[in-house]
Amino acid sequence: MKKKLNGVVPAPPVLASPGAERSEAERSEVERSAAPGEAKTAPDPEVLAKAQRRQFTADYKKRILAEADSASEPGAIGAMLRREGLYSSHLTHWRQQRDLGLVAHRRGLKPKHDPLFEEVRKLKQQNRQLTERLAQAELIIDVQKKVSLLLGIPLAAVGSDGSNS
């Protein structure tokens, strides 16, 4: 008869042989991320002082998405995500990126790009050039007035409608 502890029969102990292989979920990061056929090295057991965000290349994302899209068996995607150490939100986000062209985006504040910025810059430059030309033309007109006064040449009066009177 089995002994009961607090009225509950304890579960039989599971004995694993010393050479038993680990399941897919227990594999190390190096074993998960290594491509088939590549040499595998043991990870450094030292814990890093500061966590570092993982970065995935566009090729890796495309490979994982192709593998997920070709999965036909129930649970195949979940097994692949566990094997690679990914979340389903990665697939969702990467699919959105793929639909937009899988362009790498920089994190942080985006530069404020105004579509009218270039046009405004050109118009300001043109305005500055025209202001300089107007100042030069006014200077020339003032010199002409002074010369005509010195030489005694009467200037034609210009009316408000722009015609000579």
Q: What tens digit of pLDDT does each residue of 139-161 get?
A: 999 999 899 888 888 877 655 56
For 112-125, write each residue's pLDDT tens digit: 777 788 889 899 99
Query: Exposed, middle or buried, 81 (CB in 10 Å: 0-12/13-18/19+)?
Result: middle
**Mean pLDDT for all residues in the chain:** 77
- pTM for this one? 0.36
Query: Exposed, middle or buried, 56 (CB in 10 Å: 0-12/13-18/19+)?
Result: middle
Tokens for 36? 């088939």
| Cα angle, residue 11 at apex, residues 25 and 2 outer, rounded to 5° | 165
162 has pLDDT over 70: no
Contact between residue 80 and residue 64 where contact means Cβ atoms under 8 Å apart: yes
Three-class DSSP category at 37:
coil
76 has pLDDT over 70: yes
The set of residues, in sequence order, having a beta carbon less than 8 Å from that of 79 and lying 6+ positions away, is 24
159 vs 165: CA distance, rounded Å: 6
Contact between residue 42 and residue 30 where contact means Cβ atoms under 8 Å apart: yes
For 84-112, write each residue's pLDDT tens digit: 999 999 999 989 888 887 666 666 777 77
Report which of residues 142 and 20 the model is more confident about: 142
Tokens for 113? 């790009």
Contact between residue 48 and residue 94 where contact means Cβ atoms under 8 Å apart: no
